[in-house]
Structure 1
């Protein structure tokens, strides 16, 4: 019996793959991060307000000896991620400037994404919901255009559709998608028409996923400023939902209703343009530079990855910074 073999040859394109030398370098760096304690130390150094950590600071992360801590730090330093400086009897470590982007991407984007749970059922539900959503978005755009008669109808329609498109890339598709789109579109239209010379000061908090730090900071401003400062938040790559740890904190700060309505939002140029102050939290290079807008960068930990004690410490750190920011804005 003769078997006919397929004659169409596979022609894979391998020229776009990472180079051998680069792959070896990256693999070595990833190997150095395969230990959970090293990842925690890297996170502690990256988010320390001083921009560096002493060996004695990092010893509190685990019940291990100081020589063990020093060993792990030397492994990270050998890959080029850390720089060190001896001052007296102690050695201080900081993130190497050339590696800061890689460390930020690891801690702020990859790590939270790696801890998410996804299922085939969620994907099927999402696909089914998408098939019925377009007509509802069109109706929402018509309703808002009828209501906001002072704005160009085509502009309102475009903002509604752009808002839906921005949210649907990452948000969970539930029965709440249309209300979320309406809230986001209204916020964008308010940003688009805001006069920064009039009204109360407005602050925009931006992190990568808008699921943790930026949400928490905005909630604290809204609580502590008592309406004298408006706070909003956004993410350069929004997550599907606010992290449970942060939602619990928002419940304590603003109440259950506000916590339930919080959702990750994509960053827009209009939001930056409307703000008096933009505070970045690990994603400073993604924000457009708008003349007249003040920019700050806060190095704070990610509550999505922290222990309960760490979450409390991060909240206290952000609250202290928020109080200072509010005082500055109201004084100015």
Structure 2
């Protein structure tokens, strides 16, 4: 038996060459620039500094403040900040003996995407889904239709078709980010009830309502809503939502909410942002979600630059809680005055 020698087939015989379009993926120059930026970010203290600067309510941070993040020398702090400035993420300005740093113009969205979207997704615990929502959709159809019928009976002022559409849409929206789907029906009921309450809200007689919006609805917006309910004694309705909801509330934030309101901690879950929630709110507070929140005439907007609890140390978590509580207290004062 002789050995068989295999030779590559020429084009047009047994196979065709696989051609990858030159436009697919990143170009060489873009990839090199991006790699340089990612290399600059590949250091924990630099990331913490960038996060602190981006979350500083003053819009900038003094190098003296950043030196408190770690037990390192002043030259080390300056070196790390220089690296971030070299790749174009930061701008600096000397005032007297101190240098102040801020996120460079045009880079706010990129920094927000890194800190608000990518970082929480990486550090979140991995949960293996029991099954996909699409696979269970058919089996849950009976439960969803029954829920739609029950909520339609409870909301006679709305057409049955409207209620049914809201229930179905609520289920679909929550299923997009669900990892474990066995809780989808009760979560759909709570979410749909909120949406129906928002649609039927009478501004003339209803108590003030505040909507807190962040990216994942897993940290600061949930915490702000819990503090609002607690500090107002239930006299102000507080909602929260996310432009890209996470699969669950961050464990550390859930613990904080449990201290504020034990019942609320068990009921908290990430919800997608809806136009109905915005229209129903007297005040919409954005917390790091950029331009994801549409502007509705007649609704008051505030933007709170506060740190992300999901990425904070225990001390930082307490500081974020206290800062949000102070902001909520001021907000409640204005709502009472109005």
The CA deviation at 1:196 is 2.8
Following the alignment from structure 1 to structure 2, what is the Cα–Cα distance between the partners of residues 284 and 216? 19
- 5+ residue gaps, structure 2, are none
The CA deviation at 1:209 is 0.2
The CA deviation at 1:73 is 0.4
Residues 217-256 of structure 1 correspond to what in structure 2 (within 5 A)? 217-255=224-262
Following the alignment from structure 1 to structure 2, what is the Cα–Cα distance between the partners of residues 94 and 144? 49
Tell me the alpha carbon deviations over residues 106-157 of structure 1, each in whole angstroms, 9 at most, x when there is no partner. Answer: 00000000112335x4254766544522232122112222332221000000
Of residues 16, 25, 30, the one that matches 1:22 is: 30
Residue pair 2:283, 2:301 contacting (<8 A) in 1 also: yes
**1:284 match:** 290
Q: How high is the TM-score relative to the length of structure 1?
A: 0.95
- 5+ residue gaps, structure 1, are none
**1:110 match:** 118
Q: How high is the TM-score relative to the length of structure 2?
A: 0.93
Residue pair 1:207, 1:281 contacting (<8 A) in 2 also: yes
Following the alignment from structure 2 to structure 1, what is the Cα–Cα distance between the partners of residues 204 and 95? 48
Of residues 152, 157, 173, the one that matches 2:159 is: 152
Following the alignment from structure 1 to structure 2, what is the Cα–Cα distance between the partners of residues 64 and 225? 42
| Local SS of the residue matching 1:282 | coil
Following the alignment from structure 2 to structure 1, what is the Cα–Cα distance between the partners of residues 16 and 164? 49
Residues 159-308 of structure 1 correspond to what in structure 2 (within 5 A)? 159-255=166-262, 257-308=263-314
**1:63 match:** 71
| Local SS of the residue matching 1:15 | coil
Tell me the alpha carbon deviations over residues 278-323 of structure 1, each in whole angstroms, 9 at most, x when there is no partner. Answer: 1001113011110011111111011101111110010001001000
- How many residues align? The count is 330
Following the alignment from structure 2 to structure 1, what is the Cα–Cα distance between the partners of residues 286 and 103? 18
Residue pair 1:284, 1:297 contacting (<8 A) in 2 also: no
Task: Tell me: CA distance 1:10–1:139, structure 2 relative to 1, closer, same or farther (3 Å).
Answer: farther
Alpha-carbon RMSD across the aligned residues, in angstroms, is 1.7
Tell me the alpha carbon deviations over residues 150-181 of structure 1, each in whole angstroms, 9 at most, x when there is no partner. Answer: 21000000000000011011133343211110
Tell me the alpha carbon deviations over residues 54-73 of structure 1, each in whole angstroms, 9 at most, x when there is no partner. Answer: 11101111110011000000
